[in-house]
Chains A and B, each alone.
Chain A
Amino acid sequence: MELNLHELNATEFPVPAELENNIAITSLSQLYNWGRRNSMWPMLFGLACCAIEMIATASSRFDFSRFGFEVMRATPRQADLMIVSGTVTKKMVVPIVRLYNQMPEPKYVLAMGACASGGGPFKEGYNVVSGMDKFLPVDVYVPGCPPTPQALLYGMIALQRKIDGQSIANGDDVPWYGVGSAEPTPVPVLGPDIIDPRQMDMIRRQAERAAGDMDALGLRELPAAMQMVAAKAATTADAPAETAPVNGNALAFVLPIGGTPWTEAEDIREKRRLRALARKAVRATRRASAEEE
């Protein structure tokens, strides 16, 4: 990559025109990010169909070396970026987490395609993990099945922009300068089904419940949005949603699963939908009247 000092020189101190090719006045963060963003080496690591498009992106027609993704490295120890290119299966996620732990920091993860982002067309499969972010922190998601090489390039450039925005002064941006060594991500266990060691407590609790008389009822840990819906249902529709203390302060609701649909939440959803439709209609009439004027 050509050394371009112009793009570094972005402070309020101007550099004389005749020295522009020789001197740059810049901040440490900027210099640091400039070095990193232009030498991201991806790991040579393909999972499925998307890997073929990744190879196409690396080859002559699209050529991601132009943007500093110079060479693909087969070993994680020389790689900065893991492109998760394809369906992540339960069997494969174990080595993937191990590979991630072997990458030196700073390290980034790019989820390429629908499968790596959220399970994709194979989400319902019994051996499929619904997205890489269930196990690793993902920086950029690239949609598509598979994404075209152009889309992948766009995603990689988005990652460079993300790096541009980071500051050395901010510990959240550059956690690898913190005290002590980084905690490795716990490697999942292949038991009767995949087990994430970080969720051992939750699994144990759920399994105990399921092993009891919980044929019709099951305990779930609700995502924040669902908690809101259920809480609203409890207050507005007088639905006596039973609450049980879990893990100290968090609340979980016991809701029927399986046979009976949980009608309260469905009702709320339906109301919301109707309200949204009404709002949409109002907006449409307003727009129409504005156009007439």
Chain B
Amino acid sequence: MPTAAPDAPLTSTSIDGAIDHLQATYPEAVSADDREGYGGIIVDSAQLLDIAQVIRDELGFDYLSSATAVDYLGAGDHMEMVYHAYRSSGGGALVFKAQTERDNAEIPSLVSVWRGADFQEREAWDLYGIHFPGHPNLKRILMWEGFHGHPMRKDWREAYYEEEQKPFDSRWPGGHVHRAEEKNVFGKNVNYPREIDLSRLMDTSESAVYQSLGLGVDVERVMDKDGFETNELVVNMGPHHPSTHGVFRMVLTVDGETVTSLEPVMGYLHRNHEKIGERNTYLHNIPFTDRLDYISSMGNNHGYVLAVEQLLSLGRRYNEPTYRCEALRVLMVELSRIVNHLWAIGFWLNDIGAFFTPVLYFIQERERILDFFEAVAGSRMMCNYMRFGGLFGDLPERIKSVSNLTNDRVRDYNTMQFLTEMFSERIPRTIDELEQLLTQNEILIERSVGVGVLSAEDAINYSAAGPLLRGSGVPYDIRRADPYSIYDELDFDVAVEDAGDMYARYRVRVKELRESVRILRQILPRLEATKGQSIWADGKPGAYAPRVPHGEAYGRVENGKGELGYYIVSAGGKSGTSNPWRYHVRAPSFINLTPMGIMSQGYKVADIVGILGSIDIVLGETDR
């Protein structure tokens, strides 16, 4: 095994070299994960904390991308935490895992090493019931305090449970449909534990939210130094609030107008994406991914398809997507990035006072792009466009839209002309207009420069991603750091700004808009050159229910909001399986909220909505 030269710094060794180093240093605690289709190492959970420290400090894997739990019921009967750590300078993942038994599951918390593990460990506690000693604030995050059970465990069944996996026998091939209500004792989507005592029922979900904030008057702080009496006030924002971008909630304590602490509260749109995803077949999940970050559904499709393709490529019957297919994927993804950034900037401006006027102009361009999506994929927002090894369909010759009549005329364009006009005129013009009106705007600068600052170290340590990370001066873009699809042959720059404030994030988004247009202009000749080529490697669409071989995969893409990752475990035997055993989404909107607390401290209440807007979250992805 070629390892790094002894005097070379360990922070630049290869992944294999890093694993060798760990195995040499901790021979008892570290073992290679040699299950079929798996990679990385398994770490003894007693020494996990020490080893994580080494991984971060000595080996240089300073960015913890994903931390998630897997329940191996019936396949070893243990719980497992899976961590994906990356170097912020680029390169592949160091995957390490820690195992624990299913009863009294306990794994040491890594929050002291990577703060970015905070919400992800809380999620693992909420959904899997794994306890994390050392976690500063271990309580439920998506469900409410008091909910019965940990729903993602394989032996936990929802109220409308029918079978472990789809397609259900009753539906296919039998074709009998019955309503889920008929199978449930209560006739609705509820399920109470046997020991429920309805005479003494208490709703503890609200009090639990406030408990961790230490409510009550702190005598020391009642009188300030001038003898002026002040009280800290707890202010609740959301889940119904016009500036929380959905059903997000923040509980803040304020001293006068200044925010002293802030805690995000979420789960109001937790619609059980992962539980449903583990019942679904692989193909079923594609339209569900659309509904994660519903602003940029194409990007969500791409990440999921990449992850499943990684697994499929372990098997024998798999063909790489064709070049035209890859070019079309990049075309769609970059268009949705433009939609996403226009939307993000527009709504951020809403939050800092330019109510709705800028958005109206951005929506104009968005509608144009959605018309294109509708013509190609059949739907404006929920495109459901990508498939394993291919796509739903090729570009149509002409774009016709009868549903959006303007002046009673059917819109009818030549597709390539439409795209050329969009990339060379319309979108650049919109960006120019945007910059002209906003970038040097005095009010905008006053409101956003120096507000919501996040330092580069914190951004990495808190696992921030996307414009939030790059706005803090870390030039980390997965399209460059760990290239996928055809990005390595495309010419574009990673947008980066150093200040780390709201204004820097705005600048990063504007730069990325321009870079996206640059990429799209390079895609057009590639589409012309591959005209007539099939989007499927063997010329015909892939299987309806592909058999996915045994193994694990982590597919990640740079989505508009940041790093979107899918961790998928397939537990099939020799012939593979058509349903995922574990389906986890590493949602950028969710993890980007981890530094929200430190970013808001010391700023005014009115800045909070702006800071939230500059992170750019979408609740479908935050809560999943």
Q: Do A and B bind each other?
A: yes
- Which A residues lie at the B interface, using CB under 8 A? 44-49, 51-53, 55-56, 59-61, 74, 86-87, 89, 91-92, 95, 99, 115, 119, 121-130, 134, 145-146, 148, 150, 189-195, 200, 202-204, 206-207, 209-211, 218-221, 223, 226, 257, 266, 269
Residues of A within 8 A of B270 (CB): 89, 91, 127
Residues 115-149 of chain B: 1 if any A CB is under 8 Å from the residue's CB, otherwise 0?
A: 00000000000000000000000000011101110
Of A45, A121, A200, A204, most B-chain CB atoms within 10 Å? A121
B160 at the binding interface (Cβ < 8 Å): yes
Comparing B11-19, B25-33, B106-114, B238-246, the segment that makes contact with chain A is B238-246
A148 and B363 contact, Cβ closer than 8 Å, known pairs A46-B246, A91-B143, A128-B272: no
Q: Which residues of B contact A221 (CB under 8 A)?
A: 187
Q: List 21 A-B contacts (CB under 8 A).
A: A48-B619, A49-B291, A55-B363, A59-B356, A59-B359, A89-B271, A92-B269, A122-B271, A126-B151, A126-B159, A126-B272, A127-B143, A127-B272, A129-B189, A190-B144, A190-B147, A190-B205, A191-B202, A192-B147, A220-B186, A223-B187
Q: Does B603 contact A (CB under 8 A)?
A: no
Complex CA–CA separation, A195 to B192 (angstroms): 9
Query: Given known contacts A51-B246, A56-B367, is B193 in contact with A192 (CB within 8 Å)?
Result: yes
Q: Contact at A122–B276, with CB atoms within 8 Å?
A: yes
Q: Which 3 pairs show the lowest CB-CB distances between chains A and B?
A: A125-B272, A192-B148, A49-B294
Considering only CB atoms, which chain B residue lies closest to A73 in the complex? B242
Let me know if A127 and B192 touch, CB within 8 A.
Answer: no
Give CA–CA (A137, B296) in the complex, Å: 33
Q: Which chain B residues lie closer than 8 Å to A219 at the CB level?
A: 185
- Is B382 a contact of A49 with CB atoms below 8 Å? yes
Q: Which residues of B contact A (CB under 8 A)?
A: 142-144, 146-148, 151, 158-162, 176, 180-196, 198, 201-203, 205, 239-242, 246-247, 267-273, 275-276, 279, 287-288, 291, 294-295, 356, 359-360, 363-364, 366-367, 380-382, 403-404, 619-620
- Assess whether B194 is in contact with A210, with CB atoms less than 8 Å apart: yes
Given A124-B160, A193-B192: A91 and B267 within 8 A (CB)? yes
State A203–B188 Cα separation when bound (angstroms).
11
Tell me whether B189 and A130 are in contact (CB under 8 A). yes
Q: Which residue of B lies closest to A197 (CB)?
A: B201
Contacts of B186 on A, CB cut-off 8 Å? Answer: 202-203, 206, 220
Give every chain B residue within 8 A of A206 (Cβ-Cβ): 185-186
Known: A193-B147, A221-B187, A257-B183. A86 touches B269 (CB 8 A): yes
Whether B403 contacts A150 by the Cβ 8 Å rule is yes
How far does the alpha carbon of A211 sit from the alpha carbon of B195 in the complex, in Å? 7
A124-B185 in contact (CB<8A): no
Q: Which of A45, A121, A148, A191 contacts B203 (CB 8 A)?
A: A191
CB <8 Å contact, A146 and B381: yes
Apart from A46-B246, A99-B240, what are 7 other A-B pairs with CB-CB below 8 Å? A48-B294, A61-B363, A61-B364, A91-B205, A91-B270, A218-B185, A219-B185
- Chain A minimum-CB-distance residue to B272: A125
CA distance A74 to B240 in the complex (A): 9
Secondary structure call for the A interface = mixed
Query: Bound state CA distance, A146 and B287, in angstroms?
Result: 12
Query: Which A residues are CB-close (under 8 A) to B367?
Result: 56, 61
Contact of A59 with B189 at beta-carbon distance under 8 Å, contacts A125-B271, A200-B198 already known? no
Known A47-B247, A207-B192; contact A126-B158, beta-carbon cutoff 8 A: yes
For A46, list chain B residues within 8 Å (CB). Answer: 246-247
Please give me the residue from chain B that is nearest to A46 by CB atom.
Answer: B246
Contact across chains for B205 and A44 when beta carbons are under 8 A apart: no
Shortest Cβ distance from residue B239 to the other chain A in the assembled complex, whole angstroms: 6
Within the complex, the shortest CB–CB distance from A280 to chain B, in Å, comes to 16
**Can you name the residue of chain A whose Cβ is closest to the Cβ of B160?**
A124
A99 to B238, CA, bound (A): 12
Q: Complex Cα distance A138/B186, Å?
A: 22
A123-B160, A150-B403, A192-B146 known; A128-B267 Cβ under 8 A: no
On whether A59 and B242 interact (CB within 8 A), knowing A47-B247, A190-B146, A206-B186, the answer reads no
Set B143, B247, B279, B359: member contacting A124, Cβ < 8 A: B279
How far does the alpha carbon of A204 sit from the alpha carbon of B382 in the complex, in Å?
41
Q: Is the CB of A190 within 8 A of B203?
A: yes
A191 to B176, alpha carbons, bound, how many Å?
34
Which among A59, A145, A146, A223 has the highest number of chain B CB atoms within 10 Å? A59
Complexed CA–CA distance, A224 and B159 (Å) = 22
Q: A59-B360, A128-B272, A203-B192 are in contact. Are A195 and B201 (CB under 8 A)?
A: yes
Q: Which of B196, B240, B272, B367 has most A Cβ within 10 Å? A: B240
Contact A125 B275 (CB under 8 A): yes
Chain B residues with CB below 8 A from A99, complex form:
240
Let me know if A193 and B191 touch, CB within 8 A: yes
Chain A residues with CB under 8 Å of B288's CB are 121
B239:A95 contact, CB within 8 angstroms = yes
CB distance from A192 to the nearest CB of B (A): 4
Select B240's contact among A45, A49, A123, beta carbons within 8 Å: A45
